Structure formats: structure tokens, C-alpha cells
A and B are shown apart, each in its own frame.
Chain A
Amino acid sequence: MPLFLSEEQTMLRDAARDFVGEQAPVSHLRSLRDADDPTGFSRDLWRSFGEMGFNGILIPEDQGGLGLGAVAAGVVLEEVGRNLTPSPFLPTAIGAVTALNGGAAAHRERWFPAILSGEAVAALAIDEGPKHQPERTAMRAERSGNGFRLTGAKQFVAGGHVADLLIVAARTAGAPGEEDGITLFAVEKDAANLHADPRRLADSSLAARLRFDGVEVDADAVIGEVDGGAATLRRMLGHVRAGASSELLGVGGGAMDMTVSYLKERKQFGVRIGAFQALQHRAAHLYSEMEVARAATLKAQQMLDAGDAKADAAVSIAKAMTGMATTLAVQEGVQMHGGIGMTDEYDIGFYMKRARVLAEAFGDVGYHADRLAEGAGY
């Protein structure tokens, strides 16, 4: 398969570009931010995502979806990133859908229609500390009656305060650090003894700290096998990290485009600042980093779609590489704008904030680099 978008994928990209660019440009984020919006995204926009069919990208055709894959998901997410669109798309249409695809039909029947229509939103409750370390999941799920009782805390759960469905990783056996013993649960909103504390983040998004004070769930809340959730978790995180990589590419690409345009406009010393070779080289360098990150991301997504055994490592490469390239893009972006780049009125700062949150989510550069080193045996 050639390592560029197919004709069909290109059409999807154009549709996503037009739709997101028109319906939810950066000004949309700005107005939510200025209104101190307590949801963190627009429910109308989420329903429009549903109408466009985006929400069903990873849902099989026989269940009403488009039955596409990680490449297609990435195409949409890149536009979301470029426009800094606040959306539950990544945790819901990518994360939750991938997890539920690995579980019982009953879950899919319960959730897929509402996800497809843009009524339901999901959130991923994975992290338990300041850094992403899913291997070290410690939250307990003890047998209780005909089901389980969840006790522990989660954090950095994007949209966790409004989600209808939470995908929760917890430990039914084993110790933090062990793969075996992790179980995934589908926990419904408003479960008793579940407390959500939404936190506004630097990029104006809302992520919840969740406390599970003995949350009772039925046995059929388990997604996949009891004690054997690690494989589904890994598959879900593979898709989510690949998706976050695409979103990062959008953020970095958007910042780079704004910056290159500015270099062509702003005049100092009687010339456009883009005429200074010092800046030309840095812009060209940034372009190179972004291109390499783009290739790595598409490669990982194609491997995911092909079920390649090495896809997991490729995803780590993509997430780390897009993290680095996009961080460079926003840093160069602010710097090359000079004073105006530091103002709230100008959009480049929003890109910098979003880039940091996304680079941190689902494993930062250091996490994925370390994971690669470990996988390679050094």
C-alpha cells in the first residue's frame, strides 16, 4: 500500500477540512473559552459530527458505521487539530468504540446508536497519576454480589464530568506493573459513589479527576475478559495514541501555516521577515520535522489497519515524533511572531496550549521513547 492517502481517504479529508473549518474554526474554541463553558464542547457540533458520519468511522458497517480504520480516523482528527476544535471525538469515536469492538455485542447495541447520532459521549479513565502509565494501573475492582466494586482515583479524564459512558481500567488481580489482572469496565454516568471534579486546563478544555468510592457495577459491565483487559486496553490505546498523533499533526501544521504566512507579511528593516535566511532555515527545518512526523503517523495507522504485529511500536514512534515536531512548531510559531505572538488576541498561543495538553495525553515523548527502548531490549 502506498504511504499516502488513497483517493477515498483524500475525499474524506476534504469533507472533514471543509466541515470542521467552517463549523468549528479557532473562533469556536475562543467563544467557548470566553463563555467559560462548563461542558467543554458544543453538543450541537457533536451531533453534526454524527450527521457527517464521522462518529462511525471505526464502527463496523453492519452496525451502522463506516467500517473504516485508523487512517481515516486520523484524517478527521488532523482537521480537528488544525482548528483546535473542542470535541469528544477522540475518546468517544476512537477510544470507546475500539474498546467496545473488543467486547460483548450487548455493549455495542447499547452504545453505538447513540454514538453514531452524536447523542452520547464517552471518556477514558486510564491515568492515575500526573503521567500516563497504564501498566501501573492500581485502581481496584473487587468481586461484589453479581458484579464488581470499583475503588480508586483517575485523573486527566477529558470530558469525564459529562460523559455518558466511562471506559475504566481497573485491577481485578495482580499488582501494578503486571499486565495480567487488568480489566476494562464500561461504567455509566451517574453511578452511585462516583465523584467527578472537572478541572479547566491550560488549553481551556475540561478534564476530570474522578473518585470511585466503591462504585458497584454488574458483571456485564466488563469489556472482554476479566483479568484479561490488557490486550483490549492496548488496542484501544494504540488507536487513541495514533489519533492523538494526527491531532497533534493538525495543531503543528496549523501553527506552521500561520507562521509561514506571517513571515511573508510582517516587515522589518524594510523587508518581509521571511527574507532573513536565519528564519528561512528554521521554517524549512520545521517543515522537515513535520513531514517526518506525518510519515511516521500514517505508517503507524496503516500498520494498525493491517493488524501488523509491530503496529504498537510504530504508534509510539508516531506519538513521540508528533509530540516533538508539534512542540517545535508552536515554539517557533510564538517566537517568529514576536510580541504579537504573546497576545491572547492572536491565535498562535492557543496552538501552544493545545499542543502541550495533547503531547502529554496518552504518553508524552519521554514515555514513548522509553517504551521503544524497552521494547528494543536496551
Chain B
Amino acid sequence: MTDLDSFRSETRAWLEANCPPEMREPLRDDDDVVWGGRNATYKHPAQKSWLDAMASRGWTVPDWPAEYGGGGLSPGETKVLREEMARIAARNPLNSFGISMLGPALLKYGTEEQKLEHLPPIARGEIRWCQGYSEPNAGSDLAALATRADDAGDHFVINGQKVWTSYADKADWIFCLVRTDFTTKQGGISFLLFDMASPGVSTKPILLISGYSPFCETFFDDVRVPKKNLVGEINKGWDVAKYLLGHEREMISGMGLREGGGRTLGQAAADRLGTDDKGRLDAPVLRSEIALFEVRAQAFRAMSERFIDELKHGRAHPAQPSMMKYYGTELNKARHELAMSAGGSELLEWESEETSGGAPARAWLRTKANSIEGGTSEVQLNIVAKRILDLPSN
């Protein structure tokens, strides 16, 4: 038996013993997702015990070093853990921007002190982070951001506004791009961390077309931030920002892998619309659309495995997350379009009990943001064209 084989059998046994049955059920709604934080809410006690069990082994962040709260696993072991979790349909114990975005950036650019201060609370789900990048006039052109950080000796003073800040009203801390030099564009940006409870920070939720408001306008009015919270060098924040975006895009691309409640789109459609005498979905055009979609979805599954393997072994093209983000989010949007078609007029219901308050329609609308958040599809394609295909830019 190789080391990986024995790791697999130990992992399997541990998961079997520690993953509560409720945490092997498919996610039904947003409340089933655990985000952690100072004001964490748990819909079910099993969410908390599953989080604590995984965090105790560092398996909320299996490949981070153990000294920062991680599991210290090799790429091979991390993959085994992921496979074994998938085998029993275990839910992700903790979802967080700290894990998928800030963590990797701190591991690369943070000081030892910053890593020790911030990474373990992320791993344990104690601090919830939000992302302060976009501004009203700096979306796709992110480097046009104008929120300013003025040097005031041992601290900076922040003034300005962010927009579309997901969960800013629920987050404990923010990683924020600020302008420390107005004479150059990318070269005048710095990357700061601060507590959302600092005086001068305020948020205003914005309602989405799905009827929920998970994002906000975020305002900074003379917010004081200690200089020790600067990540990387002053005016070198753009490098950190871009590195983090790569990880964000990698995370978002995972949407391409989702399946509706563990059942395939085609099965769900057949359950609702019936089958013909040969057992085929009794809606021929929809059937071919779903079948063609499944070709891409299954192929993307392979692509995703390959991408992560390449990434963990340092072989992926640095711009490959852009391709993955583009493809995965377009797939997820297509999946929801098809699911709505298969649901017909019944899934158009917005408030009914049968639809759990319009969950499918709201989820469908929410996916439209997938190709906008984390950089639009157009921006990803521009990056692929420029950085991978090396096409001329004028």
C-alpha cells in the first residue's frame, strides 16, 4: 500500500466517523452555506460540529501549512481528501473569501506576523472577510480606483467608496485596494486590511434582481488603519490584487461543476415532464439541449481536475484561471436556463411553498452575476487573448 493509499483509508474512516449525516445532504438554500465570522449563524447544529471537526485537523484549508491553521497536506493528499469528501457528498464545512481569496495572497505576500494574525482565524471560521475592490468608476477598469489612503505617520487615513461589496454588512474585516499615489495608475495602488468595525466604515445593502441583498455600497470616512496592515509594499498592491483575483477566479470556476441537488438536469427534467415509451425525456428539443449541455459539463469536469492538478504542481499558465472562470460561469448560467425551461411555468413562481419561495427562479437570476463578479466574461476573454494567445493589442 502506498502512502496515499493509506492516507485514503484513514481519511475515509475519519470522514465516516466525523461527517454528520445532515452534512451529506445537498445544499438547499443560502442558509445551508456556512460562512463563519464573529456573528456566524448556523441553521443546524451539525454545521457547527462539522466545521469544528474539520478545523481541528486543519482540513478547512487542507493545503495550508499547519502553523497557519491548515492541514499541511501535499497536493496528492489534498486531492484524495477532496475525492473522499465527494464520495460521501460531504458539504464544504466553511465557505469564505478568507479561504478562497485572501489566504493565498497572504501566504505569498504577507509578513510572518500578518500570516500568524490572520490565517488561523480564517481557517477556524472565526473571522469573515469581504473584498473591497470595485468602485463606481472602477469596475472592469479596476486600476482606476480612487479610494484614497493618506499617510498619517503610523497609520493611514482612508476616504472613499466601494461598491458591489459582497456581504460587507456581514463581514468582520475587509481586504481593500486603496490609492496611495495619484500620479500613476497601477503603480499607485496599495493593499490594506482593516476591521469593518473601525470608526468611519459604513455599509448600505443593495437589492439584487433575485430579491436578496447580499452586496453593499461601502463608505469610508476618515478610517484609521495601522501601517502594519499593509500587505506587500506600498504602491505594489496591484501585484497582490491580481494574484488574489487569480484565486478568486479559480474558486468561481467551480460553479461549472455544480449539480442540482445531486441529480442531473436531465433526470430532474424527466421527473417533471415525463418520458416517452422509450424512456426519453418527453420534450425532444429540450432533451437535445440538455444532452449537449451535459457534454460540455462533463468535459469541464475533466478540465477542472486537470487544471487543479496543474495548478498544484505549478504547471498551469498564470492566466488559465481566466479561461476557467469564463467557461465555468457560462456553464452555470446555461445550467440554470435549462433548469428553468424544464420547470416550465411552475418554476416561474416567486413566492409559492412548492418552490420554497421561488428558490429556483431566484437562483437562476443570481447566476447572471457569475459572469460579472470577479471580473466579467469579457475581461477574462481579453486576458486569455492577450496573455495566453499573445494577440496584439493595437
Contacts and interface: CB of A to CB of B under 8 A. Distances in A.
Interface stretch (A14-22, A60-68, A296-304, A359-367): A359-367
A335 B371 contact: yes
B257 interface: no
Contacts of A345: 206-207
B26 interface: no
B32 interface: no
Given A338-B376, A370-B285, A353 B365 contact: yes
B345 A155 contact: yes
Given A269-B140, A344-B211, A345-B206, A200 B377 contact: no
Given A335-B368, A366-B286, A201 B376 contact: no
A344 B351 contact: no
Contact of B378 (A200, A278, A360, A367): A278
A132 B144 CA distance: 50
B358 A342 contact: no
Contact of A342 (B134, B283, B368, B377): B368
A201 B206 CA distance: 22
A78 B209 CA distance: 24
Interface in B278-313: 283-286, 289
A369 B209 contact: no
Given A202-B361, A335-B377, A341-B372, A129 B344 contact: yes
Interface in A42-91: none
A201 B360 CA distance: 12
A4 to B, nearest CB: 31
Contacts of A357: 348
Given A335-B371, A338-B376, A360-B344, A268 B206 contact: no
B206 A130 contact: no
A366 B211 contact: no
Contact of B345 (A130, A341, A344, A353): A130
A203 B351 CA distance: 11
Given A131-B283, A349-B365, A344 B209 contact: yes
B212 to A, nearest CB: 10
A366 to B, nearest CB: 3
Nearest to A335: B371
A349 B209 contact: yes
A127 interface: yes
Contact of A131 (B164, B211, B344, B369): B344
Interface residues of A, number: 46
A339 B372 contact: yes
B243 interface: no
Contacts of A339: 134, 139, 163-164, 369, 372-373
Nearest to A346: B209
A279 B209 CA distance: 23
B346 interface: yes
Task: Give the most central of B289, B340, B350: most A CB within 10 Å.
Answer: B350
Interface in B344-364: 344-352, 358, 361
Nearest to B140: A268
B375 to A, nearest CB: 10
Given A343-B209, A344-B209, A344-B211, A130 B347 contact: yes
A156 interface: yes
A369 B285 contact: yes
A338 B350 CA distance: 24
B209 A366 contact: no
B4 interface: no
A130 B372 contact: no
B285 A365 contact: yes
Nearest to A327: B337
Given A268-B140, A339-B139, A366-B341, A201 B350 contact: yes
A162 to B, nearest CB: 17
Contacts of B286: 366
Contact of B273 (A130, A269, A273): A130
Contacts of B284: 366, 370, 373
Contacts of B378: 276, 278-279
A356 interface: yes
Contact of A130 (B134, B144, B346, B369): B346
B242 interface: no
Given A130-B346, A335-B377, A366 B140 contact: no
A356 B140 contact: no
A256 interface: no
In the A-B complex, the 8 residue pairs with the closest CB atoms: A130-B344, A349-B209, A366-B285, A156-B345, A344-B207, A268-B141, A131-B344, A130-B346
15 contacts: A156-B345, A201-B348, A202-B349, A267-B137, A269-B140, A269-B144, A335-B368, A338-B372, A343-B207, A343-B209, A353-B209, A366-B284, A366-B289, A367-B285, A369-B285
Interface of B: 134, 137, 139-141, 144, 163-164, 206-209, 211, 272-273, 283-286, 289, 340-341, 343-352, 358, 361, 365, 368-369, 371-373, 376-378, 381-382
